[in-house]
Structure 1
């Protein structure tokens, strides 16, 4: 990570928490935009949404980071790991947008929080870390919470549930790749995140260019703004996260990541009048509690190891 920003610890912690919460709203804005765009009206295809989302992301990072840091910001020590991270991020985006085609925003977001628990569960093999029973228990409890959310009788589409679980697996792959590129400047990773996705979408453009042509004369100005906003919200969300982690230790910010459930539920209710029932909230609470608890256990374990 970049050098921490100077300031009183209490103030920097508060600023870091506020920036992280703001990033959760930005990323929920990205998800809500994708869900709206792929709805019956305007009916934008998945590939076009991803093309614009990653294209705008790349342009924004290039015009903001390169003037400040120079072309050296493009250099990375592990290009293969950066490419793997970018590909897993693109896969997670496509899978999650597909999930949102079937599921409400809040329930789909809650399934995503299985991803960090999956990483902890497979860390002994994927990251060569010591095995801990607490991690496997947390992963099992988190899975139980997701099963409560997607239980029979919940009214959720089984296809959406399947795509949601695949999204969690893709996100877990992205998190593992993120550990491997941690030696690079996070702003370099931010650029590569958009550039890899943009390159893939441009290379596959011959397969869906007609969708883009047909779309050009069909969208209204507000719909074009929502489409372009996917790249803005995605880039802004990741940028705010970088700023948050520069000011506040990751262990202190970990519980606030689950605030995205609140932002997703709020946007889902405001836009589509979709709100989880009490049993679904119970499942969401189980997922969040398992993640927060194992986060605290990991923090105490790392603190004891340093001591």
Structure 2
């Protein structure tokens, strides 16, 4: 049941973004040593168990949680999210946390741009202008003519597009299915897909990295649990701007742990992307009020 405690919601969102940034750092480390599919597959096994437990508690039974009138939409959501995570983790390894997150931060702009043709939502000229400015920021990060055609630079942009489509399908699914049902399908479909395609990618892992793997699984569950509590405490529009702090935390981890560099063009481009994203969130809230 949702309350109206915005301050608590903000605190929970900050905690969520911090935990997810730690998760991304651990993913970057493990995926640099082992196959990406194996790392995400193990993570999804734990995530699926967590999802089933939460969905069962919220819906009353597993059967109730799994019941949907739109299985194709739910399957597509699950496939998109699991594939997006694999793509993004690969981006961490090839491009680093800082640049990957700077580019991925454009996904709310993609959500706004695609909400019209996919969901039939109205997008006014102000939000279109903000979307345009945000993508100028992405181009600044990518440096057209220098790295824009490099596969590593495109990977987090592909992940952002996939996550935007996942977000839009989630909103579409919410018209008929409960949050518990969508959550159930998200975890289970991803776990099945990754088990099928990732089982042959198994590699032996040393004891120290199994400890990191366990931490990755726990942080994933903890982050999603905090996110659920966050949206129970406050409206999504009130806490969504603070989700951009994940970029800040991931940048700090990239600098301090992995020795990455924060280049000027990345900082400037990310600033434009974040400013544009915050404006689209604010403008959507204003339109909803009117």
1:195 pairs with one of 171, 188, 200: 188
The corresponding residue for 1:158 is: 150
1:156 Cα deviation from its structure 2 partner = 9.2
Separation (CA, whole Å) in 2 of partners of 1:53 and 1:303: 40
- Name the structure 2 match of 1:118: 110
What's 2:225 paired with? 239
Is residue 30 of structure 2 the alignment partner of residue 51 of structure 1? Answer: no
Normalising to structure 1: TM-score of the pair? 0.86
**Is the 2:105–2:247 Cα contact (8 Å) retained in structure 1?**
no
Q: Give structure 2 stretches of 5+ with no counterpart.
A: none
What is the count of residue pairs matched by the alignment?
287
Q: Which runs of 5+ in 1 are unaligned?
A: none
Matched, 1:16 2:9: yes
Paired residues of 2:55 and 2:183 also in contact (CA < 8 A): no
| Cα separation, 1, equivalents of 2:165 and 2:190 | 15
After TM superposition, give the deviation of residue 229 of structure 1 in Å: 3.2
**Aligned with 1:38: secondary structure?**
helix
The answer to whether the aligner puts 1:257 opposite 2:239 as a matched pair is: no
In the superposition, relative to structure 1, how do residues 293 and 89 fare at CA in structure 2: closer, same or farther (>3 Å)? Answer: same
Identify if the C-alpha distance between structure 1 residues 64 and 173 changes in structure 2 by more than 3 Å, giving closer, same or farther: closer
After TM superposition, give the deviation of residue 249 of structure 1 in Å. Answer: 1.2
Q: State the match for 1:277 in structure 2.
A: 263
Q: 1:272 is paired with a residue of what secondary structure?
A: coil
Q: Summarize deviations over 1:62-85 as a string: whole Å, max 9, x none.
A: 345535733223333432221111
The root-mean-square deviation of aligned C-alpha atoms, in Å, is: 2.2
- TM-score, normalised to structure 2, is 0.90
Once the two structures are TM-superposed, the CA of residue 279 in structure 1 deviates from its matched residue by 3.3
Rounded to whole Å, the distance in 2 between the matches of 1:290 and 1:115 is 11
| Aligned residues of 1:102 and 1:159 also touching (Cα < 8 A) | no
* Separation of aligned partners in 2, 1:104 and 1:236: 24
For 1:102-251, list aligned pairs within 5 A. Answer: 102-151=94-143, 158-183=150-175, 184-205=177-198, 208-209=199-200, 211-212=201-202, 215-216=203-204, 219-251=205-237
